[in-house]
Structure 1
Amino acid sequence: MDNEPIVFQMKIAKSKPHSYRPAAKGVTKRCPFCDVAGLTDIYEQQGEMIWLHNKFPTLRDTLQTVLIETSDHEGDIANYSVAANRKLMRFALTCFEKVNKSGHFVSVVWYKNFGPNSGGSLVHPHMQIVGFEKVNAYKYLHPNNFEGKTLFKTTEVEVNIAEYPVQGYTELNINLLDKRGLSLWADWIRSGARYMLNVMFNGRCDSYNLFFYPRQDGGICAKYISRFAAPPYFVGYKLSQVNDEVTLMQEAHRFRQFFADGSKLE
């Protein structure tokens, strides 16, 4: 049975900076991503976007990298301009593809944490691209995890509310089917962050994960998962839960209208 866990190296984790925990007495918190002059092991830089080696590789048998999105410590996809977010998605996709096509890894993942309940450690906006030398990170996923109630579709981009979520209950799938639609894909991703933080759950959601999955047809799925306490069925049995059909259809309609309105939070 292929259920070997990835190994978390606690000794390295103890020295990691953490924005969400209170600082020790007499210690002033400093954000390492704000100190651009002090950054090392940089792979690529494009304006304020910097892709570099992770100084705290907490996972054994991996290459862990970080992509700093902006110099704005309080930035996020939800408040980037349309142009800035399009540049970010294009740059991040290029970095991901370089690792993924290197041939050095069994699998490569690309994701973003946002908010105190996301599992992240630093507030400063960043993504992570991680190459696994021995583990297939996608072994528990299925193609239908990226399918659902379609609310928008062209030959280049398809957007849906997941009917077969990875965790549940409501997940937004934003599928890039053809790279010619990358700008439109980025715009839907931007609206997804705004929708999740301000409309879904009536604004009670302050955290999310954004995962990027290579699709079997050569495309890529950007999946938003809202973060609260994980359901016990998922924690104990890896059983995801999904909202009923009426609720999914209502959510699909609301998200489609939100995007069509040009995002009411401009």
Structure 2
Amino acid sequence: MEQEKYLVFLNHINRDKPNDFRKINVKECPFCNREKLVNIIDKSGPFILLKNKYPTLEDTYQLVLIETYTCDTDMGEYDVEYMDKLIRFGVKHWLKLEEDNTYKSVIFYKNHGPHSGGSLKHPHMQIVGLKNIDYKLNVKDEYFEGIEIYKSENCLVNLSNKPINGFTEFNIIINDDLYALNELSYNIRKVVHYVLNNYFVKCDSFNIFFYHWKQRIICKITPRFTTSPLLLGYGIKQVSSIEHDIADKLRTMYFQ
């Protein structure tokens, strides 16, 4: 069995990193001020992919995907065409970096809100090449199984009944031929809007995690709150007693 590996967090770099939520080192939004951006890799309309100015993870290649021109919106408010173009742009660069043998694996994810682990409000995503860690060693098929909410010929949406970290995790699954990328983006938008506006408790934060797993592209959307002490201290995961109600509400509001 391969020994567990840890990423090293570089505190000396993090000291200078701006943080909107903690009001640290923030005079103006660095992503709104586009003329000062450097190390740009690609642009497409409002979308910019660039090297992360604060690469806080050792032995990684960190990229930031800026989603919008301004701070005052969120993914649940994007129109269908905008969302489709964003996800295509991000997935293209994620899968392209996966082809580089420099990295054992490449992760693609999004933080949104004060409880998500993010530091800037401006909508953005991140792509990180991991030189020494293969995230797929920590993945199991059961993490992407659950209560069916929506199913078409090319796309499945469900609520995990064996989540990675507990409570609510929504999965959106397509094949990696990318034929259904428009359905993936459309359904991500629906679930994000539900989480921020119609979840059973008030929620201002979420994470999105992408997986390239067994010829599938999988997107996991997780509402975020204070992490359970049972998970932190004992690795004990929990699921909600109203998971079927959560699935039914999402299905009724967004998929009928």
Counterpart for residue 232 of structure 2: 235
1:117-266 map, 5 Å? 117-177=115-175, 178-202=177-201, 204-216=202-214, 218-244=215-241, 247-260=242-255
- TM-score, normalization by structure 2: 0.95
Q: Within 5 A, what are the aligned runs for 1:28-177?
A: 29-177=27-175
After superposition, the CA RMSD in angstroms is 1.4
1:10 positional shift: 0.1
Q: Which amino acid aligns with 2:233?
A: G
SS of alignment partner, residue 254 of structure 1: helix
Unpaired runs of 5+ in structure 2?
none
Q: Secondary structure at the match of 2:103?
A: coil
Q: Distance in 2 between matches of 1:93 and 1:185?
A: 11
- Which runs of no fewer than 5 residues in structure 1 stay unpaired? 262-266
Instruction: Tell me how far 1:233 sits from its aligned partner.
Output: 2.0
Deviations along 1:166-210, one digit per CA (max 9) or x if unpaired, are: 1120111111225221111111100111101111124x1110111
Paired with 2:16 and 2:8, the residues of 1 have a C-alpha distance of 17
* CA offsets 1:79-120 (integer angstroms, 9 cap, x no match): 111110111011110010111112220111000000011110
Q: Which moved more, 1:66-75 or 1:132-141?
A: 132-141
The 8 Å contact of residues 156 and 179 in structure 1, kept in 2 or not, is answered as no
Report what 1:264 is aligned to. Answer: none
Q: Which residue of 2 aligns with 1:8?
A: 9
In structure 1, C-alpha distance between the alignment counterparts of 2:30 and 2:208, rounded to whole Å: 22
CA–CA distance in structure 2, aligned partners of residues 147 and 250 of structure 1: 17
Contact 1:168–1:225, Cα closer than 8 Å, also in 2: no
Q: CA deviation at 1:140?
A: 2.4
Q: CA deviation at 1:23?
A: 4.6
Q: Which amino acid aligns with 1:229?
A: T
Whether contact under 8 Å (1:18, 1:122) holds in the other structure is yes
| Aligned partners of 2:136 and 2:213 also within 8 Å | no
Deviates more, 1:51-60 or 1:67-76: 67-76
Structure-2 separation of matches of 1:129 and 1:81: 23
1: distance between equivalents of 2:57 and 2:24? 24
Q: Distance in 2 between matches of 1:56 and 1:147?
A: 36
Matches for 1:10-29 after TM superposition, within 5 Å: 10-23=11-24, 29=27
TM-score normalised to the size of structure 1? Answer: 0.91
* Corresponding letter in the other structure for 1:89: I
Does structure 2 conserve the Cα–Cα contact (< 8 Å) formed by 1:147 and 1:163? yes
- TM-fit CA distance, 1:139: 2.8
Distance in 2, matches of 1:171 and 1:229, equals 15
CA contact (8 A) 2:62 2:129 kept: yes
Distance of aligned partners of 1:176 and 1:165 in 2 relative to their CA distance in 1, 3 Å threshold: same
Identity %: 37
